[in-house]
């Protein structure tokens, strides 16, 4: 039975990830999530309590995956940005869900502890590298981290109208822009 429950929960999360990335929280429909997962609405509320609770679980799962799949190396921030870019390319729903989160959940009591702790760890690693002279100190650690993360997400957040004008169409070319831009940030 426990295996069935975990399988059901996993299917619900997968269906919800797809639904929320396409429609956001307000536009997502639990009926579609239940149908896509081969489950029912009652199971959604049983496992997650509410549609917001389901979104929080999906977002938390994405944060866990991104943090564990992309550990920071403060001595090579360009490559760290490149690996983040790779993750965003492989999972475009990450940036869509992050956008929906900012629009619909920011300022709520959503579970941010994982993100805060992850960013605290990363900024401490950057600060240590700055103290050791391995990184320039022209930016505060949290500002530098933010610049790196947003540079990595640049292409994933671009509108189709802007994208049509950009010469760098291949993932390799776009990744190169990301790593070179971060390297430029680190020059004194």
Whole-structure pTM value: 0.84
Looking at residue 103, its pLDDT comes to 86
Q: Where do the domains of the chain lie, and which CATH numbers do they carry?
A: 1-49 (1.10.10.60), 70-185 (1.10.357.10)
Tens digits of per-residue pLDDT, 3-41?
A: 688 899 999 999 999 999 999 999 999 999 999 999 999
CA distances in angstroms from 24 to 32, 88, 97, 99, 130, listed in the order given = 13, 18, 7, 9, 39
Looking at residue 109, its pLDDT comes to 62
Tens digits of per-residue pLDDT, 107-158?
A: 766 556 778 888 899 999 999 999 999 999 999 999 999 999 999 998 888 7
Tens digits of per-residue pLDDT, 62-86?
A: 888 888 889 999 999 999 999 999 9
């Amino acid at each position: 039975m426990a295996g069935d429950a975990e399988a059901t929960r996993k299917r619900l999360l997968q269906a919800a990830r797809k639904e929320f990335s396409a429609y956001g929280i307000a536009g997502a429909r639990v009926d579609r999530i239940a149908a896509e997962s081969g489950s029912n609405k009652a199971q959604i509320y049983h496992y997650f309590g509410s549609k917001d609770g389901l979104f929080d679980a999906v977002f938390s799962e994405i944060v866990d995956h991104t943090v564990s799949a992309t550990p920071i190396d403060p001595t090579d921030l360009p490559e760290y940005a490149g690996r983040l870019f790779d993750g965003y390319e492989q999972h475009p729903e990450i940036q869509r869900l992050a956008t929906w989160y900012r629009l619909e959940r920011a300022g709520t009591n959503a579970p941010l502890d994982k993100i805060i702790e992850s960013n605290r760890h990363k900024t401490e690693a950057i600060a240590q590298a700055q103290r050791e002279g391995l990184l320039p100190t022209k930016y505060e650690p949290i500002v530098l981290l933010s610049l790196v993360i947003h540079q990595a997400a640049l292409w994933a957040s671009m509108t189709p109208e802007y994208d049509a004008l950009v010469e760098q169409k291949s993932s390799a070319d776009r990744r190169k822009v990301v790593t070179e831009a971060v390297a430029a940030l680190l020059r004194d």
